[in-house]
């Protein structure tokens, strides 16, 4: 298991990406827009992981609501796993509250599922499995 990415909610993607590129020297590896989630995102490489900057495309999206409630900042941690179904089954058996009981499609041929922060001491965790 490794950290796939750390999600950061921001108001303006271009400004935030520029800050992280210019001041920390990170390199933007991809950009994307997921209309279903109401989010525009940019990935910045760091070691084996990435920072994922998330800007809402509408105020009632999950990131839009997060921003109005808590402001910009750390949003979630995504962990790369080898067998997401097995992981979800084990978590459910252990009484962990899942947001997604089954994986759904993510970017770059991945399957993803979120774990509810009430079961992980306030941290929104995402599981990611790539390929098949």
User: Residues 21, 57, 62, 117: which binds a copy of itself (CB under 8 A)?
Assistant: 117
Q: Rg (Cα) of the chain, in Å, rounded?
A: 15
Nearer to a copy of itself, 36 or 82 (CB): 82
- Candidates 22-30, 31-39, 56-64, 102-110 — which segment interacts with a copy of itself by CB under 8 A? 22-30
29, 31, 70, 99: residue in contact with a copy of itself (rule CB under 8 A):
70
Residue span binding a copy of itself (CB under 8 A) among the ranges 20-28, 30-38, 56-64, 105-113 = 20-28
C-beta closer to a copy of itself: residue 53 or 113: 53
Phi and psi angles of residue 102, each rounded to the nearest 5 degrees, phi first: -125, 150
User: How far lies 61's CA from each of 11, 24, 64, in Å?
Assistant: 13, 29, 5
Map tokens 């020297």 to a residue.
25
Gap between the Cα atoms of 70 and 60, Å rounded: 14
Residues 6+ apart with CB under 8 A from 127: 78, 79, 81, 84, 87, 88, 103, 112, 113, 114, 115
108 near a copy of itself (CB under 8 A): no
* Residue ranges in contact with a copy of itself by CB under 8 A: 1-3, 6, 8-11, 15-16, 19-20, 22-26, 46-49, 53, 70-77, 79, 90-91, 94, 96, 117, 119-123, 125
């Amino acid at each position: 298991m490794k950290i796939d990415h750390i999600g950061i909610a921001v108001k303006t993607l271009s400004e935030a990406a520029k800050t992280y590129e210019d001041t920390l020297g990170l390199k933007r590896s991809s950009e994307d827009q997921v209309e279903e989630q109401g989010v525009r995102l940019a990935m910045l490489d760091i070691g084996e992981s990435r920072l994922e900057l998330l800007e809402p495309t509408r105020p009632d999206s999950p990131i839009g609501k997060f921003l109005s409630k808590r402001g910009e900042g750390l949003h979630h941690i995504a962990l790369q796993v080898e067998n997401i179904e097995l992981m979800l089954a084990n978590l459910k058996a252990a009484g962990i509250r899942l947001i997604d009981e089954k994986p759904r499609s993510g970017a770059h041929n991945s399957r993803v599922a979120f774990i509810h922060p009430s079961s992980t001491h306030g941290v929104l965790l995402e599981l990611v499995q790539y390929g098949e």
